[in-house]
Amino acid sequence: MPEERIVALLHGKDRAGIVARVSGWIYARGGNILHADQHRDRFEGIFFQRVEWIPAGPIEEEMRLFKDFAERDVGMEAKLFRSRQRHKIALMVSKAEHCFSDIVLRCRSGELKCDISAVISNHDDLRPLARLFGLPFETVPISKENKPEAESRELEIIKESGAELVVMARYMQILSENFLERAAVPVINIHHSFLPAFAGANPYQQAYERGVKIIGATAHYATKDLDEGPIIAQMVAPVSHRNNVEEMKRRGQELERQALANAVRWHIEGRILTYKNKTVIFD
């Protein structure tokens, strides 16, 4: 078993010498840097860094000291993780099973270091599959009328489950601004088009009607503006006049699975920083 590593994600106002100071600090304390990647947005004057190292001292202590150093001395916002940490995630689903079972199997096989602490759906369709996988499944029917109460119930389930991330695995409801604020954890959604093309409902139908030669899928953080959140991952595939809407959907599902799985993996591995409605992905 490899030694446990610290992963730090930093960002803040760009200035000279940040890389030198961060790597110098770790080096001085006997840490062994395995990966270090940084990015500057020159136009915005923002600096981003992901650094992963094996500490020489006790891991929690080193994390505390580094966070202090990064925030106080270097003026960066800092998020820190332990590499062996497992993440609790809540899945929100509707009727489509392809993204749901894909995420579940990647967790089972160890590819995603996640535990699924809750599955929430507005329909009962996936309950048997969830039972098969031994997962808790809660149906919360949702309608125009009961939306506030339904969302409150969903938030309750998420909180009780201890989830640090909500994954909308083709959950076909719009989350309200209020929900997103109260959730207090990030929410990743998968949209079945190469955004910003074909935002909104029925993107494959829209794509078919427009006659595009490429279809896609987009994983993004959910924000109050529907389909407008920071894009994490996009996948595309060619189509032709021979492909009807059904075939586009089938091909699109491959893209949705992969874009969503990549987004979740990058998120839990501490590879994503967001700013100005964009993402920096240290993959």
The reply on whether position 1 binds a copy of itself by CB under 8 A is: no
* Piece of 79-87, 93-101, 116-124, 181-189 that binds a copy of itself (CB under 8 A): 93-101
Minimum CB separation of residue 107 from a copy of itself in Å reads 12
Sole binder of a copy of itself in the list 58, 143, 181, 241 (CB under 8 A): 241
| Among positions 83, 101, 161, 189, the unique one binding a copy of itself when judged by CB under 8 A | 101
What is the pattern of x (binds a copy of itself, CB under 8 A) and - over residues 174-213?
--------------------xxxxx-----------xxxx
Q: Which of 99, 87, 48, 108 is nearest to 219 (CA)?
A: 99
DSSP string, 16-74: TTHHHHHHHHHHHTT-EEEEEEEEEETTTTEEEEEEEEE-SS-HHHHHHHHHHIIIIIS
Residues ≥6 apart with Cβ < 8 Å to 212: 197, 239
Please give the Cα distance from 8 to 271 (Å, whole number): 9
Contact between residue 56 and residue 77 where contact means Cβ atoms under 8 Å apart: no
236 binds a copy of itself (CB under 8 A): yes
Helix (H, G, I), strand (E, B) or coil at 168: strand
Stretch that binds a copy of itself, among 24-32, 148-156, 171-179, 181-189 (CB under 8 A): 24-32
**One of 63, 150, 190, 231 touching a copy of itself (CB under 8 A):** 231
Note whether 172 binds a copy of itself by CB under 8 A.
no
Q: Out of 98, 123, 127, 147, which residue is the one contacting a copy of itself (CB under 8 A)?
A: 98
Burial class (CB in 10 A: 0-12, 13-18, 19+), 264: buried
Active site residues: 227
Q: How far is the CB of 176 from a copy of itself (least distance, A)?
A: 24
Put the strands of the sheet holding 137-139 in their side by side order.
Answer: 137-139, 114-121, 87-93, 165-168, 187-191, 214-221, 231-238
Point out which residues bind a copy of itself (CB under 8 A). 16-17, 19-20, 23-24, 26-27, 32-34, 36-42, 97-98, 101, 105, 109, 111, 132-133, 194-198, 210-214, 216, 230-234, 236, 240-242, 244, 250, 254, 258, 276-281
